[in-house]
């Protein structure tokens, strides 16, 4: 029971972040492109890549100077943690978010809070730097300032909403941690894998392109993603049509509006905490006229792979591709 409750809390946390993006109140997300350009320019002017001291401007427009390569690092959000572990920094990571669930090493690390940061715990771990995130920085301003006041560097990572900004984030965290070469390798690998998917998808004829609806949370709070989300970019990569692609960000939809869209494929992303998500969709009242339901084209992919801005995003693209176009992508 406790295990299920923790999963539900994690989902509530994710939906909260998505709803925040959709509301338009997240000013740092709205200007992430400008900020990422500014951060890139700052990196270029602060010295050779991977050298210290290193001065950068973070997503909250704070100038941060990192004097030495950090030996002890805390991540306040799962995506930052996944990047750190992918960079080979298992020993350096001393604390992670309560919601960090990947890789296995994350479970062994000290937990420093979820939506609310445990400042006392963070300070007790004596980190050299705390990697925060723009999606929660406004609500954590007081906590982050307490950490700064204790003499600990805080860098707020941009709220990436595209592959390009994820690549920039990985590169920046690589610079901050003195692992820029490894970061470059990770980005190159992701780009190559994504290109391979795009090349396969290019063979899909226009008349075979499918209309897809993606649910990132179940009834009664059905959320989905339009322009400016990973889901929309992923569907474009695999030559699928997002039936809500004319709308912006993450938002909630009601059953009637979804039925009117008549998607040919429905993707759910909550099977890891909800029993039989496909069966739940197929049995909804009034959905029997939806092509995806009529043809039983309802599939589940793991939420973390398609909503978490980290190194596993391409795995999410591959899972989506195999679900929507099994004849093309399944081997």
pLDDT in tens, 294-312: 999 999 999 899 889 999 9
Same domain? 112 vs 215: no
Same domain? 216 vs 268: yes
Nearest to 329 by CA among 207, 240, 256: 240
Q: Which residue has the tokens 């049509």?
A: 241
Same domain? 180 vs 215: no
Supply the DSSP symbol for 209. P
Can you list the positions of beta strands (E) in the chain? 54-57, 63-66, 73-75, 93-96, 110-111, 129-133, 153-157, 211-215, 222-225, 241-242, 250-253, 265-268, 298-300
Same domain? 77 vs 172: yes
Contact in structure between 319 and 267 (CB atoms under 8 Å): no
pTM score? 0.85
At which of 155, 190, 225 does a domain end? 190
Bridge partners, residue 212, by sequence: 242, 265
Select the more confidently predicted residue: 263 or 274: 263
Same domain? 207 vs 186: no
At which of 190, 214, 231 does a domain end? 190
**Any idea which of 73-77, 136-140, 210-214, 221-225 has the lowest mean pLDDT?**
136-140
Mean pLDDT of 43-58: 69
Domain presence at residue 122: yes
Select the more confidently predicted residue: 234 or 161: 234
The pLDDT value given to residue 50 = 57
Give the rounded percent of residues in the chain with a pLDDT score beyond 90.
76
The pLDDT value given to residue 51 = 83
Domain presence at residue 26: no
Six token digits for residue 102: 């990947």
How confident is the model over 134-177, as pLDDT tens digits?
A: 988 888 999 999 999 999 999 999 998 899 999 999 999 999 99
The pLDDT value given to residue 40 = 42
Domain presence at residue 299: yes
Domain presence at residue 19: no
The pLDDT value given to residue 3 = 41
Nearest to 83 by CA among 269, 313, 319: 313
The pLDDT value given to residue 331 = 63
Domain presence at residue 23: no
Whether 26 has a pLDDT exceeding 70, the answer reads: no
Same domain? 95 vs 243: no
Domain presence at residue 92: yes
The pLDDT value given to residue 137 = 85
Whether 25 has a pLDDT exceeding 80, the answer reads: no
Same domain? 120 vs 252: no
Same domain? 160 vs 251: no
Report the mean per-residue pLDDT for the chain: 87
Q: How far apart are CA 114 and CA 76, in angstroms?
A: 7
Q: DSSP string spanning 274-303?
A: SS-HHHHHHT-TT-TTSHHHHTT-EEE--H
Domain presence at residue 198: no
Whether 38 has a pLDDT exceeding 90, the answer reads: no
Domain count, the chain: 2
Nearest to 75 by CA among 154, 21, 174: 154
Same domain? 231 vs 149: no
CATH number, domain at 252? 3.40.50.1980
At which of 160, 190, 220 does a domain end? 190
Q: Which stretches within 2-129 are classed as H helix?
A: 2-23, 27-30, 32-45, 78-86, 119-124
Q: How far apart are CA 31 and CA 49, in angstroms?
A: 25
Looking at the chain, how many residues does it have?
A: 331
Same domain? 265 vs 304: yes
Same domain? 58 vs 148: yes
Domain presence at residue 1: no
Mean pLDDT of 204-209: 96
Six token digits for residue 180: 């820029």
Non-local (6+) Cβ contacts of 280 within 8 A are: 218, 219, 274
Nearest to 13 by CA among 100, 96, 84, 106: 100
Mean pLDDT of 258-286: 94
- Helix then strand then coil, in percent of the chain rounded to 5, is 50, 15, 35
Mean pLDDT of 264-293: 94
Same domain? 39 vs 178: yes
Give the rounded percent of residues in the chain with a pLDDT score beyond 70.
85
Structural domain boundaries enclosing 75: 31-190
């Amino acid at each position: 029971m406790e295990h299920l409750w923790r999963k539900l809390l994690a989902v509530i946390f994710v939906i909260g972040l998505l709803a925040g993006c959709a509301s338009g109140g997240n000013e740092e997300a709205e200007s992430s492109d400008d900020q990422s350009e500014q951060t890139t320019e700052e990196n270029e002017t602060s010295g050779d890549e991977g050298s210290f001291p290193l001065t950068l401007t973070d997503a909250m427009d704070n100038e941060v100077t990192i004097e030495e390569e950090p030996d002890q690092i805390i991540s306040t959000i799962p995506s930052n943690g996944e990047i750190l572990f992918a960079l080979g920094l298992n020993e350096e990571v001393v604390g992670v978010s309560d919601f960090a669930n990947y890789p296995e090493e994350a479970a062994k690390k000290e937990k420093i809070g979820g939506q609310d940061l445990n400042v006392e715990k963070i300070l007790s771990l004596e980190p050299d730097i705390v990697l925060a995130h723009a999606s929660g920085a406004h609500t954590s301003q007081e906590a982050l300032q307490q950490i700064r006041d204790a003499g600990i560097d805080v860098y707020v990572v941009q709220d990436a909403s595209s592959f390009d900004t994820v690549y920039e984030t990985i590169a920046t965290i690589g610079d901050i941690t003195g692992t820029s070469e490894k970061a470059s390798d990770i980005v190159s690998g992701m780009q190559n894998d994504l290109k391979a998917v795009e090349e396969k998808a290019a063979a899909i004829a226009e008349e075979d392109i499918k209309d897809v609806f993606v649910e990132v949370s179940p009834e009664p709070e059905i959320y989905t993603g339009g322009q400016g989300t990973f889901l929309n970019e992923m569907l474009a990569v695999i030559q699928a049509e997002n039936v809500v692609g004319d709308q912006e960000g993450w938002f909630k939809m009601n059953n009637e509006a979804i039925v009117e869209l008549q998607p040919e494929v429905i993707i759910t992303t909550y099977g890891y905490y909800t029993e039989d998500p496909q069966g739940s969709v197929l049995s909804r009242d009034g959905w029997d006229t939806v092509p995806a339901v009529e043809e039983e084209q309802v599939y589940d992919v793991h939420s973390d792979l398609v909503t978490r801005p980290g190194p596993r995003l391409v795995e999410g693209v591959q899972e989506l591709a195999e679900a929507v176009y099994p004849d093309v992508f399944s081997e």
